[in-house]
Amino acid sequence: MKTVTLIRGEHKGEEIMVVNFDFDKTIEDHLIGFPNLKRNSSSGKFYLKNTAKNLGLLFHHLRKIRCYVDYSELSQKQVETPVKRKRLFLPPIDSFHKKDLIRFRRWLEEKRLSPHTVNTYVEVTHFFVRYSILKKSKNYSRDLVESFNYDFIVCEGKSVSYQNQCINGIKKYFLFKGMDIGALDLIRPKKEKKLPVVLSKAEVRSLMDVTHNVKHRTLLSLVYSGGLRIGEAIQLKVDDIDSKRMLIHIRGGKGKKDRYTLLSQSFLETLRQYYRQYQPKVYLFEGQNSATYSTSSAQWVLRNAVLRAGIRKEVSLHTLRHSFATHLLENGTDIRYIQELLGHSSPKTTMIYTHVTENSIKNISNPFDDL
């Protein structure tokens, strides 16, 4: 049996699979004309986009001429990704469940959960209830949750984080309904342990330099210089800035905890310029049609700055917070102080920054240098 090996490659920034085999006229003739298959003009190798669908089609195509297809060198993640099925359409919710979800929202608000968490839990529960209507199920069983998880989350290619949010929301809904969630044994999947993306100080400076709007530059500078979450930044009030003690008072942060963080002397000059120009009354950053600036507007500001600065990393507003913590650690700040500034409950959360600091990596001697 002839062997064809599929090797992972890249062409013009796109992941491809290269079809590798010892020259054989039968295989070559059989491959010519295969949909979307291209050929490198210099090497003569066949290749196509690396997707689960293409892999399946090519596999069956080569099996027609009794070829053994070795795809072990392809990305395991790509091989295991299921082919996306036909989109799942959920029926509209009925009046009974609509009223039930309104009561569920009020119940969550009474628990004093954050508005963002309440909206997320109600949204995912709304999808789950519509799914139960689709399945004509009157009982909220573990099987129904697992079926919803597979059809609505796994097959739709949604993230592990979103899957956890769905399970958390459904658990809260079951508690609201007075159901024994312990008996259902709903388990959340483990998150991938990814290191945070961190910008260098030069990259942070370039973001500020290309942001000419005073309000936008002040917002980005605040998030970085104080290590704030974006929700904390847009909820900040004018009175929370303590320029005498050079501190910023964060009220009701994550976990409903108050804390203080640093007020940079350099940032204070930018802040005063912003205040003179915009004259905010209550909240430091006020929206055009709302009391506070919106998160989506803040995200747009950052995206625009990243494009202008030519930064190719996957940057979010939280990246500025990660960068603040990492730069403090690189400057020799005790990790316990960083934990307090960030508002982390556990030092384990803060310890992740020890894995991305430039100093700790630079101090390691590379064995290649000793050859």
Q: Could you report the per-residue pLDDT of 229-255, keeping only the tens digit for each? A: 998 999 999 999 999 999 999 987 776
Nearest to 17 by CA among 154, 34, 25: 34
Which of 194, 195, 210 lies closest to 358, judged by CA?
195
Q: For residue 108, which phi and psi values (nearest 5 degrees)?
A: -65, -40
The lowest-confidence range among 137-146, 179-188, 301-310 is 179-188
- pLDDT at res. 79: 40
Instruction: Write down the pLDDT at residue 229.
Output: 92
Catalytic residue ranges: 229, 254, 318, 321, 344, 353
- pLDDT, position 80: 43
Average of pLDDT values for 56-66?
Answer: 83
At 243 the pLDDT is 92
pLDDT band at 76 (very low <50, low <70, confident <90, very high): very low
What gap in Å lies between CA 126 and CA 121, rounded to an integer?
8
Label residue 215 by pLDDT band (50, 70, 90). very high
The mean pLDDT value for 32-38 works out to: 85
pLDDT for 273-291, tens place per residue? Answer: 999 999 999 999 998 878 8
Confidence of residue 159 (pLDDT cuts 50, 70, 90): confident
Domains of the chain (ranges, CATH numbers): 2-80 (3.30.780), 95-184 (1.10.150.130), 201-361 (1.10.443.10)
Angle, helices 201-210 vs 317-330, to 10°: value is: 140
Tokens at residue 61, please? 């195509």
Supply angle C-alpha 94, 96, 101, rounded to 5: 95
The 10s digit of each residue's pLDDT in 116-130 is 789 889 999 999 999
Sheet of 247-250, strands arranged across: 241-242, 247-250, 259-262
Paired tokens of 143: 């099987």
Token pair of 179, please? 């159901």
pLDDT at 192: 63
- d(CA 154, CA 84) in angstroms, rounded, equals 9
CA dist list (Å): 147 to 10, 38, 85, 134, 228: 36, 39, 15, 12, 38
Kindly tell me if the per-residue pLDDT of 360 is higher than 60.
Answer: yes
As a whole number, the mean pLDDT across the chain is 84
What ranges make up the beta strands (E) of the chain? 2-11, 14-20, 38-39, 46-49, 67-70, 241-242, 247-250, 259-262
**Average pLDDT in the 43-50 region?**
86
